[in-house]
Amino acid sequence: MKRSILFVSLLIIALVLSWSHEASAQFYKGKTLRITVGFSAGGGFDLWARLVSRHLGKHIPGNPTIVVENITGAGGLIQTNQLFKATKPDGLTIGHINGGLILGQMLGQPGYDFDPQKFIYIGAANKENAVFVFSAKSGITSAEKWRTSPTPVKVGGLVPGNFVDNMGRIAKYVLGFPTQIVTGYKGTADILIATDSGELAGGPPSWDNVKTTRKKALEAGDMVVVLQGTAKPLKELPKVPRMIEYAKTEEQKKLVEVAIHYPNDYSRPFACPPGTPKDRVDILKKAWQDMIADKEFLAEIEKMNLTLDPTTGEELTTAVANSVKIDPALKAKLKDIIFKN
DSSP 215-250: HHHHHHTSEEEEEE--SS--TT-TTSPBGGGG--SH
Spell out, as residue ranges, where the chain has pLDDT lower than 50: 6, 8-10, 13-21
Q: Do domains 28-127+266-328 and 131-263 have the same CATH topology?
A: yes
Residue-level pLDDT at 9: 46
Residue-level pLDDT at 168: 97
Class of domain 28-127+266-328: alpha beta
Give residues with Cβ within 8 angstroms of 285, minimum separation 6: 122, 123, 312, 313
**CA separation for the pair 232, 297 (Å, rounded):** 26
Contact between 31 and 64 (Cβ < 8 Å): yes
Contact between 42 and 189 (Cβ < 8 Å): yes
Q: Where are the domains of the chain?
A: 28-127+266-328, 131-263
Residue-level pLDDT at 340: 75
**What tens digit of pLDDT does each residue of 188-210 get?**
999 999 999 999 999 999 999 99
- Return the CATH superfamily for domain 131-263: Periplasmic binding protein-like II (3.40.190.10)
Contact between 190 and 199 (Cβ < 8 Å): no
pTM of the model as a whole: 0.81
